[in-house]
């Protein structure tokens, strides 16, 4: 028996560990939602949009995909996805790289760009 949640909208919510197993979520929207460890086993996810969602550790055992969007969503540690499904997620804008705790070093990147524009490298000297 599946639970009918098709067309639902979830925005800026924390639904960590939520059980969506066997749910019909067709054409639903998840935007800026934390779904860490959520269970989507046997769920119908056709047409679902995951936009900037945290899906770390979510389970997708036998979930049905099609016409999805995963733009800006992290699925690091997600389980029960075949290699083809993982490729599909990446093509649709998702990532399996865990970037939590990572902060870009803009000053170093800017300095490297400026040095590159001047034709300098870290090992260049005065040439004498």
CATH number of residue 114's parent domain = 2.160.20
Q: Is residue 128 part of a domain?
A: no
Number of domain units in the chain: 1
10 Å Cβ neighbour count for 119? 7
Query: Residues of the chain whose pLDDT is less than 50?
Result: 121-128
Q: Is residue 45 part of a domain?
A: yes
DSSP-H helix ranges across the chain: 83-91, 106-117
Which residue segment(s) compose the domain that 46 sits in? 1-119
Q: Is residue 32 part of a domain?
A: yes
Instruction: Report how far residue 8's alpha carbon sits from residue 29's, in angstroms, rounded to the nearest whole number.
Output: 6
Which pLDDT belongs to residue 115? 60
Q: Is residue 126 part of a domain?
A: no
Q: Is residue 124 part of a domain?
A: no
Q: Is residue 110 part of a domain?
A: yes
User: How many C-alpha atoms does 83 have within 13 Å on its Cβ side?
Assistant: 0
Q: Could you tell me the pTM of the whole model? A: 0.77
């Amino acid at each position: 028996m599946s639970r009918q949640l098709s067309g639902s909208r979830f925005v800026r919510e924390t639904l960590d560990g939520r059980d969506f197993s066997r749910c019909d979520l067709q054409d639903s929207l998840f935007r800026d939602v934390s779904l860490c460890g959520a269970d989507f086993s046997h769920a119908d996810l056709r047409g679902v949009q995951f936009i900037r969602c945290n899906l770390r550790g979510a389970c997708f055992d036998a979930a049905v995909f099609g016409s999805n969007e995963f733009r800006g969503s992290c699925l690091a540690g997600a389980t029960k996805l075949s290699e083809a499904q993982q490729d599909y997620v990446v093509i649709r804008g998702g990532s399996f790289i865990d970037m939590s705790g990572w902060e870009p070093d803009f000053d170093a990147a800017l300095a490297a760009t400026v040095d590159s524009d001047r034709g300098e490298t870290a090992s260049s000297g005065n040439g004498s």
